[in-house]
Amino acid sequence: MKAFVFPGQASQFPGMGKNIYDQYSDSHAFFEEANDILGFDIKKIMFEGSTDELKQTDVTQPAVFLYSYLSYAMKEGKPKPGAMAGHSLGEITALVASGALTFNDGLRLVKSRANAMQKACELENSSMAAIVGLSDEAVRKVCHDIRESVIAANFNCPGQVVISGSQVGVEIAIEKLKSEGAKRALPLAVGGAFHSRFMKPAEDDLREKIKSTSFSAPSCPIYQNVDAKPHIDPEEIQDNLISQLTSPVLWTQTMEQMISDGVDEFIECGGKVLSGFVKRVDRKFPTQQIT
């Protein structure tokens, strides 16, 4: 069984999508539609913008969504997916690729999500950091023992966890995790504490928009971040998508569950990061990228 996976924020790069635009004339309409929905020229920024311009949350999220989705949609002769999943933002891309959401509705949710998260970031001083070389449980324990609000937020692969929380809490956690033997503990250049309680205002803002958007049953099971389980029921998918903003991304657990359920190859659309995570689960596991 083949599983298609879609990356999230941090997979962007200058020039992204130009290869698709140049190769597939059918893609042009999607770029024009995206410009109309977003209210700015996303195509120009993707093709000509700087790294700094692409780091802006209201640009990054729609750019990654558009590139990842078109990498999948324009690919000719691709195998039939038996399952799909997306890392954080990529979950919306997976839902569009599976037919659970239309392209227009998916992009509108991405736009609302990016704006809501940016607003939440501005309310409190918060951040994230990548921790390499410690077990999930070791990272959880250090975060739990810190009184300042900080949690293990992204379980990306064995030996790599991202923590999220108040600026002070993250700084304290970095020092404690280094003393516990972390090979690396690096602050991330992000706007705030994603996938933590600091995103509660964004969750509240997005709840009504998600609930008022029409969701259909996907063409294959969608493994969602909040519980690493497959879902096909539209209402369950909506609820999990809402909870995702304040819940940890269980990506390691998702890959392990998909492999256990019969996935024999992961195909990443629009990036290479997730394929690297798969290799940390099983070095011999087959992966490929569509870009």
User: Where do the DSSP E strands lie in 80-133?
Assistant: 83-86, 126-132
Catalytic residue among 27, 68, 71, 88: 88
Phi, psi of 108 (to 5 degrees): -65, -40
Residue with tokens 């950091």: 129
Catalytic residue among 11, 71, 164, 195: 195
Beta bridge partners of 152: 163
Task: Residue 15: count other Cβ atoms within 10 Å of its Cβ.
Answer: 11
88 is catalytic: yes
Q: How far is the C-alpha of 170 from the C-alpha of 172, rounded, in Å? A: 5
List the end-to-end C-alpha distance of the chain, in Å, as a whole number.
21
8 Å CB contact between 106 and 96: yes
Which residues belong to the active site? 88, 195
